[in-house]
Structure 1
Amino acid sequence: MSIGIESLSVFEQFDSTNDQAVGLITDPIRRESVLNRLSAGMDESLAQEARLHGWRVQALFEAMATHLRHVSIVKQEDVGSYHFDDINGSVKPPDFRIVTDKREQLLVEVKNVAPKYKEKSQKIRASDLDQEKRYADLTSSRLLYAHYWSHINIWTLIDPAVLQREGRDYALDFPTAMKANELFILGDLLISLRPPITATFVVDGGQFLNGIAQATLTDWWMSSGDQVIRNELERTILWKFYSLHKPGWTTDCKVENDTMGRIREARLVQTPLESQVCDRGFAQVAWLSRIFSAAYNEATITSDGQVKKFRHQPEGWLSAIMAHDLGEIEFAGTRLRPSLGPAAR
């Protein structure tokens, strides 16, 4: 839809004279009134940090879902007008409609869990849940709740049946959400690689000045296990995996010097704990959803958590790994071993 057409939709929403007998819609005074109401609304929202983060997380979920393998359509559901038969009560559209590659109709309500609330159960008003379930029933869809636990960069997707009633609300804690997580139905994968992950840098004239290595980079490559990866896209992907925080993994720096004592080659080697390596020689790196969200966060929020923008188009390397299907696959010169989520085991 063009900006011009969308602007008419905004005009209609903020035109307080819509239901009154007034002059032409092109009246400059009427237009100014709409712009004033829009400006006041923006001032209100931009002053509320929680609202900004909630809006950004909704955009993050939409972007992530769009790139997950089993998602065919993602559409904002709670926009525009709608009409319903209220004989059985009110309805409330959830945030998004998703159609999977199996043609399953899903309705997803997205919730952002701010770091300061990480230890608390997340509350959902019973009235909201009832209205969203009624909407889902009327549209022959399945209702799900997506929570983004921002302090640990983890998404969960749960059926409301796992919610616990607490007075007038329903509650969800993180352990319950993880046990019931169904994000795999959208195509989320657990990436595993053969360790160690190694980044090798070949330099010219390298030396240390004031404790900092000074050199000209002439070549670099990545390795997973004993597999060397030089392809530009593939080594970028593996470098991103290397850069992720991986609990239990340790990093060792190995430097080789030439006969004059100058740095010739530097290797950064990441190794997991022995207990983290399975019988087949793989070690878990991260879920695709976490990889995507980490990259999205880097582009949309500052280091101190301020929102820079709401939307971001992922880079080519991220789109490449998000496009793969379930099952063991060859990629980036090594074996990536996707794994289903906890609820599928």
Structure 2
Amino acid sequence: MPQLHRHARDPKYFDLLRVLDEFARNNGRSIDDDSTHDALISSLSDALRAHRTNPIRLYGFRTEAMFAHVAAALGSCDIIVEEDAGIHYDSNPDSVAPDFRILTLDGEQFFVEVKNFHQKQPMGDFKIKSSYLEKLRAYADKFNLPLKLAVYWSRWGHWALVDSAKLFTSGDHMVLPIAEAFARNEMSTIGDCMVGTIPPLTLRLHADPNQPREIRDDGVAPFTTQRVELLSGEAILNSELDKKIAWYMMLYGKWSEIEKPVSVTDNLIDYVDFSVSPEAPSEEHDWAIIGSLSEMVSNQYLQQTSVDGSVKRLAPVEQPDSLGVLIPPDFHGDDLRLWRLIIQPNFDGLPSTNIPS
């Protein structure tokens, strides 16, 4: 699978000159006038301050950037282009360029408009203005390509990629119920899948037997770590890829039951475990889903762009290939057992969905 790299133009060159020219034209000024430069700086300062203090806009911009990195990290896209970055000329004065154009490794091409949806109710429906969606479709129709919506249901940490033609009309809005979003989800098109393995996933710290490790009368037990192991269930993971995948799932997966058991023999520390497992293990089989790849990449992305829940940057410093762990299609772990559930979209939808009026 290819690794996509982020290519960005240096804004110090053409982009800034274009902004200056746009500002000058809109205000009847000349680009070679120093007062135009000063007025632009003042205008940009005010605009930046407004953007930074507007949480809806800030989280929306970050979610847009996050989708591109998630799509790049999943390993099934050939190229991802920021479609709405720049000028376009169109015979239709009302068309709006979507956020991205994607070409997959299978040759499928489509436009994507990204939306951050922080629903008030956990099961709330996503809505978008019909008039705005029509402007996006007008652009996509010119290229005879489908327009898809990538909606990030932030309370669930879940991505849904749905064809814009599959939304339902409700007044002056188009509506996507959450049940339909899950059923029609096309994230598998760009490499997403649900991943399961044997719980618990454990980081085990073995105490050095040649160093002090006795539990004292006051309950204190200093010990020195001699070696570290990663386990899935009772299986010790030996290969580097097995360990890399397991560690990534521990950090960014959805298993929330955390345990820290200690093994003691004759009052001496043997090892300390840090384990994660599902809250409700299956009674039918020995494995459990720990999350989807897109959810885990998003969790990592949010961690690298936030401090205490506050947005500190829109995108990580690292390239997208540093986010996530690409699991080869023919992966057969030496010791790590994985289950990958590739959910195919139900293009016909759910017959029992209740559409709001």
Q: TM-score band (shorter)?
A: 0.7 to 0.9
Aligned to 1:11: 20
| Cα drift, residue 156 of structure 1 | 0.6
What is the rounded CA distance, in whole Å, between the counterparts of 2:176 and 2:232 in structure 1? 38
Aligned to 1:92: 96
Aligned letter for 1:139? F
The answer to whether residue 194 in structure 2 is matched with residue 187 in structure 1 is: no
Deviations 1:38-67 (A, max 9, x none): 111111111211110111111111111112
Aligned to 2:166: 162
The answer to whether residue 326 in structure 2 is matched with residue 293 in structure 1 is: no
Q: Which has the higher contact order (CA 8 A, sep 6+)?
A: 2
The answer to whether residue 261 in structure 2 is matched with residue 254 in structure 1 is: yes
SS, match of residue 310 in structure 2: coil
| Cα drift, residue 161 of structure 1 | 2.8
Residues 18, 318 of structure 1: alpha-carbon distance in 2 compared, 3 angstrom cutoff: closer
Q: Percent of pairs identical after alignment? A: 26
Residues 195, 282 of structure 1: alpha-carbon distance in 2 compared, 3 angstrom cutoff: same
Residues 70, 126 of structure 1: alpha-carbon distance in 2 compared, 3 angstrom cutoff: same
Q: Within 5 Å, which residues of 2 pair with 1:1-345?
A: 1-5=9-13, 6-13=15-22, 15-17=23-25, 20=28, 23=30, 25-86=31-92, 90-114=94-118, 116=120, 118-204=122-208, 205-206=212-213, 207=215, 214-231=222-239, 234-244=242-252, 246=254, 250-259=257-266, 261-272=267-278, 273=280, 275=282, 278=285, 281-303=286-308, 305-313=309-317, 319=323, 321-322=325-326, 324-325=328-329, 329-331=331-333, 333-343=335-345
Deviations 1:158-214 (A, max 9, x none): 112331111111111222211111100010021121334232111243448987764
| Cα drift, residue 236 of structure 1 | 4.2
SS, match of residue 239 in structure 1: helix
Note the residue ranges of structure 2 that are not aligned, 5 or more in a row.
Answer: 1-8, 348-357
| Cα drift, residue 114 of structure 1 | 1.7
Note the residue ranges of structure 1 that are not aligned, 5 or more in a row.
Answer: none
Instruction: Report which of the two has the higher share of helix.
Output: 1
Deviations 1:226-277 (A, max 9, x none): 4322455642431232344546x75544322243x23221234445555365
Deviations 1:111-150 (A, max 9, x none): 1012545443221111111121121110121110011111
TM-score, normalised to structure 2, is 0.82
What is the rounded CA distance, in whole Å, between the counterparts of 2:115 and 2:121 in structure 1? 12
Aligned letter for 2:245? I
Residues 110, 214 of structure 1: alpha-carbon distance in 2 compared, 3 angstrom cutoff: farther
What is the rounded CA distance, in whole Å, between the counterparts of 1:60 and 1:283 in structure 2? 27
Residues 68, 28 of structure 1: alpha-carbon distance in 2 compared, 3 angstrom cutoff: same
| Cα drift, residue 217 of structure 1 | 2.0
Contact 2:169 2:175 in 1 (8 A): yes
| Cα drift, residue 27 of structure 1 | 2.6
Contact 2:305 2:312 in 1 (8 A): yes
RMSD: 2.9
Residues 318, 225 of structure 1: alpha-carbon distance in 2 compared, 3 angstrom cutoff: farther
TM-score, normalised to structure 1, is 0.85
Contact 1:189 1:287 in 2 (8 A): yes
